[in-house]
Amino acid sequence: GNSVTQMEGPVTLSEEAFLTINCTYTATGYPSLFWYVQYPGEGLQLLLKATKADDKGSNKGFEATYRKETTSFHLEKGSVQVSDSAVYFCALKDSGAGSYQLTFGKGTKLSVIP
């Protein structure tokens, strides 16, 4: 079956530090990959996506590249801000017919301190 593995949190960084949150996946076929963000007290929001190998998704200074050879989709940001404090979820959608749900990772909590 499909699975998504994220690095264990919590991750605590100082403002302006470089962020990497690791995500690897197991899937049959060629999945689409997503990062969602959940700010405190809110629902999840789609942050970025990539639908095929070597695609780079980007949004709000965050980037992730779909690496088929390493089955990874690591989230990066060059300089984090306090407002980036949130829980980040990596997710995949299988490419198979009849695939109607997302498989989520367990989430990684990020805290950015001034």
Q: Which residues bind other proteins (CB under 8 A)?
A: 32, 34, 38, 41-46, 49, 87, 89, 91, 93, 99-102, 104, 106-107, 109
19 vs 34, beta carbon nearer other proteins: 34
Query: Using an 8 Å Cβ cutoff, are 36 and 59 in contact?
Result: no
Minimum CB distance to other proteins, residue 82 (Å): 20
Minimum CB distance to other proteins, residue 18 (Å): 24
Q: Give the number of other Cβ atoms within 10 Å of residue 20's Cβ.
A: 12
- Assign residue 108 a region (left: φ > 0; alpha: ψ between -120 and 50; beta: otherwise): beta
Query: Using an 8 Å Cβ cutoff, are 71 and 24 in contact?
Result: yes
Minimum CB distance to other proteins, residue 57 (Å): 11
